[in-house]
Amino acid sequence: MKEAKLWIDGAWESTAETSELKAPYTGEILAKVAKATVADVERAIEGAHKTFQSFKKMPAYERAEILYKVVTIMRERKQELAEILASEAAKPLAAGLGEIDRTIATYQFAAEAAKQSTGETIPMDAAPGVTDRIGYTKRVPLGVVSAITPFNFPFNLVAHKLGPAFAVGNTVVLKPASQTPLSALVMAEIFKDAGLPDGALQIVTGSGGELSDTLVTHPLVKKVTFTGSGAVGLKIKEKIGLRKITLELGSNAAVIVEPSTPIEKIMARCVGGAFGFAGQVCISLQRIYVHASIYEPFTKLFVEETAKLVIGNPLDEKTDVSAMIHPDEVSRIKSWIDDAKRQGAIVATGGEFTDRTCTPTVMTNVKPHMKVVCEETFAPIVSIVPYDTLDEAIALVNESELALNAGIYTNVLTDAMKAAEEIEAGAVIINDIPTFRVDNMPYGGVKMSGYGKEGIKYAVEEMTDLKFITMKLNY
Ligand code: NAP
């Protein structure tokens, strides 16, 4: 059986204890995965700190070259990488290949960013009495970055940490989700082949809860970057003291569909946004607010298209929706649907379960306080809700404490701009679903959905300090 080891200072290390990694769709055991101890994590952090002393001096050109080589290697190994995603995350192959393409783009943006770190000249003589000084700023790396990542985009969300960190000369200790260690560990091999110095990337696998304190409070850790659930994000933020932190958390993304929308043209996009990767996407479309005048035809078509989705093995190219990440998630979501039904919600299609899967589910007659509406479902469930006025729809979107991306479909320019101004969200997507993301856009939630931004340029800012330098020109 495959043994997945820790990656510390450029070498694989076994641990005394291991855990079994099971495929979400088949339940088969894929690997024995090393369980790092606190002492292992401390060594990884110390090694990363040591490497930082030389890595921070590596010229930008060389750091960019390493990232460009990662891009080249990933292009050559695309199919194999997508198959890792299918086996350990149950991500259907087509979606997996899509994630690898995005990951490649993310590393490419990072390679370009490595060469673009600039500062500004400060007009020192603008201050009264200062005539003989120059002043300028530059961005400097922080040191060791602790990166903690979730299971749902285990290549691309790791890339959003490693890419910007290496672009600016930081070193990283990465703790991937316990369900998706293999996608992270293969990147150790790829970065090694691309020429990354040993110790610049350390990967420790094991329980996030058990390793958390060391990962986020070790004195040599200068920045914590976390993507995952709100509950864990909040716990981390309470611990980190004055360290820099970025938190990319969950949401219950909403879209407004105004009466001017040609519904047949947006249907495939909306259904894909609701059920892609079984809804286990932080900007999965969870709430659809449809103007009352088009609610009936919209819902009918949506239900018809949803019923066509194919549920099956992630390695089968025909599969649209595969297993939930863990059987416990199936039980959780079943109880949420049952709870909503008891309070009057209607399952228009779906709501069928096996031990590992949940059929794509469309709910109507829901109320704002139901869990399937106000919390993050992180499952293939979407609610369709009618409204009468745009003000009412915006108020319904804003009622949520979760606010990553939100969308509006409308042909009326003034309504689009009203929504853009009034919706409380990290991003407002006009004429598309909130599930839209490309990897150079600023990305991050407001309210309880996050703190700070990713998107390479923005992550670079969060992973550096702004240093000011001034020189007096005469004694
Ligand atoms: P999770 O349970 O919060 O786990 C995320 C990571 O945190 C894993 O590596 C996990 O390790 C670790 N962890 C668990 N407990 C911890 C603790 N006490 N301290 C420090 N780390 C800890 O999230 P998930 O189920 O993997 O991912 C789903 C969530 O991520 C959803 O809420 C989703 O919306 C969010 N997400 C947000 C974005 C975004 O960009 N905003 C993107 C993707 C996903 P173990 O696996 O070992 O427990």
AA letter at 315:
L
List pLDDT tens digits, range 355-364.
999 999 999 9
pLDDT given for residue 60 in this prediction: 98
pLDDT in tens, 260-306: 999 999 999 999 999 999 999 999 999 999 999 999 999 999 999 99
Hey, what are 231's tokens?
């509950």
CA-nearest residue for atom 42, ligand 1, is 282
CB-based burial, 7-38: b 16+ in 10 Å, e otherwise? bbbbeeeebeebbebbbbbeeeebbbbbbbbe
Question: What's the pLDDT at 362?
Answer: 98
Q: What angle do CA 469, 470, 475 make, to 5 degrees?
A: 145
Q: What average pLDDT score do residues 248-267 get?
A: 98
- Is-catalytic flag, 282? yes
Question: Is 74's pLDDT higher than 90?
Answer: yes
**pLDDT of 252 above 90:** yes
Instruction: List the beta bridge partners of residue 407.
Output: 255, 429
What is the percentage of the chain residues whose pLDDT exceeds 90?
Answer: 100
CATH architecture assignment, domain 2-249+449-470 = 3-Layer(aba) Sandwich (3.40)
Nearest CA to ligand 1 atom 20: 212
What pLDDT does 226 receive? 98
Domain residue spans of the chain: 2-249+449-470, 254-440
363: which strand partners?
347, 383
Enclosing H/E stretch for 187: helix 181-194
Tell me which residue of 354, 356, 337 sits closest to 346, measured CA to CA: 337
> For the whole model, what pTM was predicted?
0.98
CATH class of the domain defined by 254-440 = alpha beta
Secondary structure (3-state) at 282: coil
Those residues with Cβ within 8 angstroms of residue 375's Cβ, 6 or more apart along the chain or in another chain: 252, 336, 402
Ligand 1 contact via 52 beta carbon (within 6 Å): no
Ligand 1 neighbour 19 (Cβ under 6 A): no
Residue with tokens 């105004």: 258
Q: What's the CA angle centered on 261, arms 374 and 421, to 5 degrees?
A: 55
Contact residues for 320 (Cβ-Cβ < 8 A; gap 6+): 92, 275, 309, 310, 311
Atom of ligand 1 nearest to the CA of 151: 26
298 lines ligand 1 (CB under 6 A): no
pLDDT of 452 above 90: yes
Please indicate whether residue 92, judged by its CB atom, sits closer than 6 Å to ligand 1: no
Closest C-alpha to ligand 1, atom 30 = 228
Binned at pLDDT 50, 70 and 90, residue 474 comes out as very high
Tell me which residue has tokens 């998706």: 180
Q: Hey, is 441 helix, strand or coil?
A: coil
- Measured in angstroms, how far is the CA atom of residue 175 from the centroid of ligand 1? 10
Q: Can you list the positions of beta strands (E) in 250-345?
A: 254-257, 287-291
* Interval between CA 299 and ligand 1 midpoint (Å): 33
Query: Per-residue confidence at 20, pLDDT binned at 50, 70, 90?
Result: very high
pLDDT grade for 33, boundaries at 50, 70 and 90: very high
End-to-end CA distance of the chain: 71
Amino acid at 186: V
pLDDT category of residue 1 using cuts at 50, 70 and 90: confident
Instruction: Give me 444's structure tokens.
Output: 């991050």
